[in-house]
A and B are shown apart, each in its own frame.
Chain A
Amino acid sequence: MGDDIKKFSRRDIVKTLATVPVLGAMGYGVLKKLDFEKKKVYNIADDLGLNLYDEPGLLSSSNGKTIRLGIIGTGGRGKYLLEAAGFAHPDTVKHWYEQNQQNKADTRYGDYMGQDDLNIEIRGVCDIFDVHAQQAMLSASNAEKSRSVDKVGAQVKRYRNYRELLAATDIDAVIIATPDHWHAQMGIDAAKAGKHIYIEKGLTRTVEEAFALRETVKQTGVVFQLGHQGRQTASFNKAKQLLDKNILGKISLIEVCTNRNDPNGAWVYPIHPEANENTIDWQQFIEPTNAHPFSAERFFRWRCWWDYGTGLGGDLLTHEYDAINQVLQLGIPYSAVASGGIYYFKDGREVPDVFQAVFEYPERDLTLMYSASLANELYRGKVIMGHDATMKMENKLEIFPDNRSTQYRKQLDAGLISSGQPMITYEPGRNTLDGTTSATEQYFASRGLLYTHVQGKRVNTAHLHLKEWLECIRRQKQPSCDINQAFEEAITAHMATIAYRENRKVHWDADKEQLI
């Protein structure tokens, strides 16, 4: 049978290997292509010597002594701050857990469980609404991040008046998350009692209160943080680095905005069914402001009345202003004008739902413009306009060169950059998940300041803001949004509010520290 044995002939070899040269062509093409890509990618950030991805390190907080906290005001914001501090209500943890089981895209449970331990105890809870107080006591007892807690911990005590809480010897520091009309008095009393203070924005309801609070905080030297958690947003900190390098050229105009379009966004918060004169200490609520008969509406939707807050000025303008003050150190403006009205929510409120304020900074040769509507949700971001470039500042930073730029003339003429495309984009967290396709972009388009990324990990900014405050208490330092920054925020916002309410241009005399 030997005759049948076939030989692998030369012809066979040729046919076997006929397509191998294709791989050679592919190899050549790929090398050429990679070479081309390397040459083509012009990175102006490299040209300008910017290191975009020097990620901030994580603050360590577990060392040092345990700080014992009290919280005054445990409504919507107080509850949120407790969660950011690692003390969520067991039902909330359970809700997040169940939502995550149903929908993996809902990562709140994982984010919360992964939050750092701040090494704190919640010893005191003060709220004048019984339901909120009881819920907060259970939250304060849930250091274990459990999904069910049987009873309130022995160390957690409820106080019906904040003065009793401030007198407690087992409390080192307080979080104040009450309506604005109580901020100043509580802050002053807390500072006098030697308690360190984390207080929600806007700092105060009136100008006088801002002066008084600043004076006491400075005298007592307590560690003070105002609740602008945007201070922790990685992109804002990066924006400051870039602006310090004069990347935009001469800045002449800054535009910041608020757009919301739902009742909740216009402070028409739900009224708790158990809210009544027996469950709410109304007399204590109105103590520092004008008297008014009991009103659950005013209690829950207090931002709608001048007696308790300053509307858009104190609530949302302050966030926008503080973000800009953080990156440009604008300080208090020389003048402010404002306009607006109650154009949509004709529900008996006193504060405007459409509100514009224009601040002049002649020493900096620039204008800061704030524009807000609570009846439209068009997205308008923070825009900083310079002669050489424009920066859009959100969780993602984008810098667009200006066609008429002097600084970037050469690169513009060479076609390396153009005004239609960002020349620098900074998007922390981008490497954790792909951000290169348009569809993904939608998921990353962040609208609020709820979270940022630290070393690729998604973190609640309020958590970081509390953490910075606690670290400063341990190290005897003042945090990023200290009383000076807070004072600037308060006066600036009040200038806009006064300009609106008195329908006039308001000036700030920086030497005399006086409003004119």
Chain B
Amino acid sequence: MKYSHQLNAFQLYSIVVVRILLGWYLLYEGLAKLFNPHWSSFGYLKSAQGFLSNVFHSLADNPQAIDVINFLNIWGLIAIGFALILGVFGRFASLAGAFLILLYYLAHPPLIDVNEVLMTNDNTLWVDKNLIFISVLVMLYLFPTSRIIGLDRFIFFKRH
């Protein structure tokens, strides 16, 4: 926790705000999918592009795999969102989030020869929303705030 002494209060709270906003975003992504009976990862996987597209396509074609992926994705998003907002196992949650979104990024990398506008309505080249989220989550991992503001303060409370 040494770094926290190097940060002034404003710097610390601004990181906490970023953590909460990102947690909010991921939590709502999860909840929205949970409440939509028609949602499935099939379309995202089936339309995957880039050098790993074969892997994602074969996942899409396996109905059992799709069920598992849907479950993991929805509850993964919800868990990571909760964890970031509440500050529970903050460093683990940041890494898990970065990993999950890395998968999104790899399924639809914004390459030169790929036109994703139809899919996402974004105009992107190499850098997209997902890559920015990944870097923010890595930053949150490197600047953990949950033991100062968050349930981790209690969980990792040292009496000595």
Contacts and interface: CB of A to CB of B under 8 A. Distances in A.
A4 B47 contact: no
Interface stretch (A12-20, A43-51, A204-212, A390-398): A12-20
A53 interface: no
Given A23-B86, A439-B47, A440-B46, A16 B118 contact: no
A104 B61 contact: yes
A440 B43 contact: yes
Most buried by B among A12, A29, A434: A434
Given A26-B28, A34-B35, A105-B57, A12 B42 contact: no
B61 A105 contact: yes
B58 A30 contact: no
19 contacts: A5-B159, A12-B153, A15-B148, A15-B150, A16-B151, A16-B153, A19-B16, A19-B85, A19-B86, A20-B86, A22-B24, A26-B27, A104-B57, A104-B61, A431-B38, A433-B40, A433-B66, A436-B43, A440-B46
B160 interface: yes
B31 interface: yes
Interface in B32-63: 35, 38-44, 46-47, 57-58, 61-63
Interface in B145-160: 148-151, 153-154, 157-160
Contact of B154 (A16, A26, A435): A16
A113 to B, nearest CB: 15
A437 interface: yes
Nearest to A434: B40
Nearest to B37: A431
Contacts of A20: 86
A19 B42 contact: no
Contacts of B82: 23
Query: 4 closest A-B pairs (Cβ-Cβ)?
Result: A439-B47, A434-B40, A437-B43, A440-B43
Interface of A: 4-6, 8, 12, 15-20, 22-23, 26, 29-30, 34, 104-105, 107, 430-440, 443
B87 interface: yes
Contact of A440 (B24, B31, B47, B150): B47
Contacts of A15: 148-150, 153
B7 interface: no
Contacts of B40: 433-434, 436
B44 A437 contact: yes
A6 B38 contact: no
B119 interface: yes
A26 B159 contact: no
Contacts of A440: 42-43, 46-47
B154 A8 contact: yes
B95 interface: no
A30 B28 contact: yes
B118 A438 contact: yes
B149 A6 contact: no
B157 A12 contact: yes
Nearest to A17: B151
Given A8-B157, A26-B24, A19 B150 contact: yes
Contacts of B96: none
Nearest to B118: A438
Contacts of B85: 19, 22-23, 26
Contacts of B44: 437
A290 B47 CA distance: 54
A436 B33 CA distance: 12
Contact of A12 (B57, B87, B118, B154): B154
Contacts of A439: 43, 46-47, 118-119
B106 interface: no
B43 A19 contact: no
B38 A434 contact: yes
Contacts of B153: 12, 15-16
Contacts of B138: none
